[in-house]
Amino acid sequence: MRVEEAFAEMDMNAGDEPAAAFATVRATVVQASTVFYDTPATIEKAGRLIAEAAEQGAQLVVFPETFVGGFPRGTDFGVTIGGPAQAKGRKGKDVFCKYYASAITVPGPETSRLASFAAEHGVYVVMGAVERDGHTLYNAVLFFSPAGELLGKHRKLVPTGLERVIWACGDGSTLSLYDTPVGRLGALVCWENKMPLARTALYGKGLEVYCAPAADDSDLWLASMRHVAHEGGCFVLSANQFCLRKDYPPPPGYAFTGFDEEPSPDDVVCRGGSVIVSPSGEVLAGPKYDGEGLLTGDLDFSEIVHAKFDFDVVGHSSRPEVLTLVVKDQPQVPVTYASSASGKVLNKAS
């Protein structure tokens, strides 16, 4: 099989022959902080972490949610219900402008740089990023191959809580799965993983390696990841950032609103909790709460077959005559342009 064919995205159904069958794959989840408001420095930090993981034999490296662009922890962007358009609201928009400038286009020069790291070290990379599309931002996950290709992306379907102020909703067109020599890869982001139908949409394509970039450092998150692995009969790789207050710009350039008081520079504002879980729900690595670092585990794909013997959520354990799911996987666009027979766009400004 040609390399290009091996990396191609496929529209798969449960029951297809697994890509990795009974292979063992070494996977690494990265627990590290963004260099906030400095995307070039964050990209180079990612390159160093990919190199370190590759030195440990990793074939697949998964990064946290919005690692590129940053998770704006503690920021309210000046949003109040019924508040004035001036004063705090204006200041919040200025903060958003700085955050917008840290986002990346997909594809773009930053994705080319990340793809070069994947190629240099011969690994698959799954990267959380803030994607800029026009003047709208998305919480995205990017997939890169060892051939130096951007395979595709997933956009978070529903940003959580106040996240909706800064990130738009994705659609079903990026509920994608990638059939690779290291397994069938897919991703959902943080609390998007609490959406049963979104999980089922990926299970239905034959998901084997479930990537869950996150920003949730609670004890309950570990329980959720163990449940998802056991439910789906898949490996779960959840990567979160470990952040100190000093990993963000100091006040007044960056203020932690919503906290009882402004954290001191060495206070932990996200403790991590990255973890790798097997299809049986067994924790293979982590959770890690004590700083930045890499967690590595060997994924024995025969464990998927063992798990599916007991329960196959979209196979012999399903009841399609009772319960079915329809996934609308076409892009949802707000404006569609008609073209004349000559191919010129109608109403085009001269």
Please give the positions annotated as active site: 65, 156, 190
Q: Are 177 and 207 in contact (CB under 8 A)?
A: yes
Q: Which residue has the tokens 């710009």?
A: 249
Which CA distances in Å does 199 have to 133, 191, 243?
A: 25, 11, 28
Distance, in Å, from the CA atom of 311 to the CA atom of 307, rounded to the nearest integer, reads 6
Contacts of 128 (CB under 8 A, 6+ apart): 63, 64, 65, 66, 67, 68, 139, 140, 141, 142, 189, 213, 239
* 262 within 8 A of 229, measured Cβ to Cβ: no
Q: Where are the alpha helices (DSSP H) in the chain?
A: 3-7, 39-55, 88-102, 109-121, 196-203, 219-232, 302-310
Which element (helix H / strand E) includes 207? none
* φ/ψ (deg, to 5) at 203: -55, -40
Q: Which residue type is seen at 37?
A: Y
- Residue at token pair 């034959």: 206
- Reduced to 3 states, what is the DSSP secondary structure of residue 183? strand
DSSP-assigned letters across all residues of 81-107: TT--SSTHHHHHHHHHHHHHHH-B-SS
Tell me which residue has tokens 């056991």. 230
- The dihedral built from the CA positions of residue 8, 9, 11 and 12, taken in this order, carries a sign that is positive
